[in-house]
Amino acid sequence: METGTESDRVHALSLVSQFGERMTAILSANILLSAFLVFLCYLLHVRYNTALRAVPGPLLASFTRLWKVKTILTARQELVLLELHRKHGKSHLVRIGPNEISVSDPGALKVIYGAGTKFTKTSWYPSWSMGGQSGKYDVFSDPTTEGHAASKRMVSHSYSMAAVNELDLFVQRPVDRLLQRFGEHTDGGTPMNLADWLQWFAFDVIGEVSFSKQFGFLDAGKDIDDTLKAIDETLWSGIVIAELPELDRIRKSSLFKYLPVVGGYDQRLNIIIGQAQQVLSERRRGREVDRRDLLSRFFQVQRENPGKFDDLDLQVTITVNIFAGSDTTSIALRAILYYAITNPRCYDKLLLELDEAVRSGRISKQTTLAEAQSLPYLQACIKEAMRLHPSLGTQHTRYVPEGGVVLAGTYLPARTTVGINSWVMHSQTAIFGPDADQYRPERWIDGDKSLMDRHFMSFGYGAHMCLGKNIALLEINKVIPQILLHYHLRLAHPEDGGWSCTSHTFVQQRKFHVIVERRKQ
């Protein structure tokens, strides 16, 4: 009897156990199913429960911002956007995120970025602060309209054309050194990689005009202390953090440094900040300079605005110059020379204008900005190359203001993220003609130059125009004529297109090898 009772008890416990396991399995399945349904509902909500549902674009992009990160990692995001706008051209809008629209309508340019606009910077900007983790914004990264305007007022006079023209003689120093380097490649008969040399030149110019001291890249003929490598890697990390600003909020975590791609962001940024700190330390110790450089002007701003422009503001401003000053200009220089030498008709026409200007005395041996700007075909070649190859590959985003807005005939609600990519805008046939994808400098002479200028985005637009524009124009207009007057260039490897390009933030050209020959004067 006892044995039977014990057996029944064991059997009952077994049944209970089996029931429990089945219920656990059913409950687990229900939890998983519920989680899946909740996630599915979320995706459907993000995709369809929005005024953006009718805007065309990649399906994945309408669900997650990871689509945009994926395009960045392809290293040619500007070409992806170009192709999408060509595919969906009639709408002038492409959905590239759950809440982000890329715009190609020329009429939207002034609405989004023009003076007095109500559109505000997005969360894309703060991670770009050159103040590192100090929390100090610079004129570019400050997301507030008031903060940007205040920062710009402090330093804008230092970048004025009048101030920059005073630096002409000192820009000539790295120009002369670069020309010597061209001569060495002529004598040695070895191809010259302009991708490297033009960036080293631009970086040394920044040193000259900012704090009266070249970095020494032209002398060394290499990337000293891997400074440019650090900048490039910082750009890679920075653009991912900018697109996923949640990462910026955890940068101070001890675990952040272990994340792939972005983990070394602050370590690399600190290399550049360290350059600025070293410059300031040397000047404060009494290093003498022979001109009123940008740093001298920033010190004056500090004296005139005690409490409004402190030591950290000064450091951040110098860091911005170092970080952004060489990439944008070197990209433009490469583009100008590349498109000239790969279009023989235009190259010959440009050389004729330069030679005639020398013979007539319109330009001097050390060409000045004013002299170069008097040459219409040179200016057309500069504008056309910068149109076809803008430095920036991403788009500067803005939030739609309260009340929403109608762009390209479509209503977009408040807080929608919108932006215009310069590569996309510069390809608009309504502005630049039916051959907008072709290099034709004459369009800037016989076309509607005023219309094209109003849609030219290589230096930004409106109140957010690049502060360093005048410095870049001084460099470009001095060095390009002098290179072309002294040396004849041709591609060393025309069979592979002459260069390769990669982009994350800036669209960098690589492996731009040329054969250099002295011109008969």
- Which H helix or E strand runs over 267? helix 265-284
* Residues 341 and 439 grouped into a single domain: yes
- Which H helix or E strand runs over 175? helix 168-188
> Would 22 be classed as within a structural domain?
yes
Domain holding 410, by residue range, is: 110-518
> Would 252 be classed as within a structural domain?
yes
Task: Tell me the per-residue pLDDT of 393-451, one tens digit each, with 9 for 90 and over.
Answer: 999 899 999 999 999 999 999 999 999 999 999 999 999 999 999 999 999 999 999 99
* pLDDT confidence of residue 26: 79
* Residues 44 and 176 grouped into a single domain: no
Q: Residue 521 — very low, low, confident or very high, per pLDDT cuts 50/70/90?
A: low
- Residue 272, classified by CB atoms within 10 Å of its CB into exposed (0-12), middle (13-18) or buried (19+), is buried
Q: Which residues, in sequence order, are CB contacts of 49 under 8 Å at separation 6+?
A: none
> Would 99 be classed as within a structural domain?
no
* Residues 288 and 171 grouped into a single domain: yes
* pLDDT confidence of residue 39: 47
Distance CA 318, CA 213 (A): 13
Distance CA 109, CA 112 (A): 6
* pLDDT confidence of residue 1: 46
CATH number of the domain encompassing residue 159 = 1.10.630.10
- Which H helix or E strand runs over 160? none
* Residues 430 and 503 grouped into a single domain: yes
Distance CA 414, CA 145 (A): 17
Q: Are 477 and 174 in contact (CB under 8 A)?
A: no
Question: Cα–Cα distances in Å, from 482 out to 41, 169, 366?
Answer: 63, 14, 7
- CA-wise closest residue to 57 among 79, 36, 87, 12: 87
Give me the percent of the chain exceeding a pLDDT of 90. Answer: 61
- Residue 117, classified by CB atoms within 10 Å of its CB into exposed (0-12), middle (13-18) or buried (19+), is middle
Give me the percent of the chain exceeding a pLDDT of 70. Answer: 93
* Residues 259 and 396 grouped into a single domain: yes
Task: Tell me the per-residue pLDDT of 119-173, one tens digit each, with 9 for 90 and over.
Answer: 999 999 988 888 877 778 888 889 898 888 888 999 999 999 999 999 999 999 9
pLDDT exceeds cutoff 80 at 4:
no
> Would 185 be classed as within a structural domain?
yes
The token duo for 403 is: 């009340």
> Would 19 be classed as within a structural domain?
yes
* pLDDT confidence of residue 44: 53
At 490, phi and psi to the nearest 5? -145, 155
pLDDT exceeds cutoff 50 at 67:
yes
* Residues 300 and 449 grouped into a single domain: yes
Predicted TM-score (pTM) above 0.75: yes
* Residues 39 and 153 grouped into a single domain: no
Answer with the residue of higher pLDDT: 75 or 63. Answer: 63
Look-up of token digits 């029931």: 19
Q: Which residues, in sequence order, are CB contacts of 257 under 8 Å at separation 6+?
A: 263, 264, 266, 267
* pLDDT confidence of residue 129: 87
pLDDT exceeds cutoff 80 at 47:
no
Name, of 45-54, 132-141, 175-184, the range with top average pLDDT.
Answer: 175-184
* Residues 43 and 177 grouped into a single domain: no
The token duo for 236 is: 């890679």
pLDDT exceeds cutoff 80 at 349:
yes
> Would 58 be classed as within a structural domain?
no
* Domain total in the chain: 2
* pLDDT confidence of residue 115: 86
Lowest mean pLDDT among 166-170, 228-232, 254-258, 286-290: 286-290
Q: Residue 33 — very low, low, confident or very high, per pLDDT cuts 50/70/90?
A: low
* Residues 116 and 196 grouped into a single domain: yes
> Would 363 be classed as within a structural domain?
yes
* Residues 192 and 326 grouped into a single domain: yes
Known binding-site residues for heme equal 466
pLDDT exceeds cutoff 70 at 318:
yes
Phi-psi domain of 310 (left: phi exceeds 0; alpha: psi -120 through 50; beta: other):
beta
> Would 62 be classed as within a structural domain?
no
* Residues 25 and 154 grouped into a single domain: no
Task: Tell me the per-residue pLDDT of 87-109, one tens digit each, with 9 for 90 and over.
Answer: 998 889 999 999 999 999 999 99
pLDDT exceeds cutoff 70 at 43:
no
* Residues 228 and 313 grouped into a single domain: yes
- CA-wise closest residue to 517 among 495, 493, 494, 484: 484
Known binding-site residues equal 466
Distance CA 283, CA 212 (A): 10
Q: What is the mean pLDDT of the chain?
A: 90
Q: Residue 3 — very low, low, confident or very high, per pLDDT cuts 50/70/90?
A: low
Task: Tell me the per-residue pLDDT of 465-517, one tens digit each, with 9 for 90 and over.
Answer: 889 999 999 999 999 999 999 999 999 999 888 899 999 889 999 999 999 99
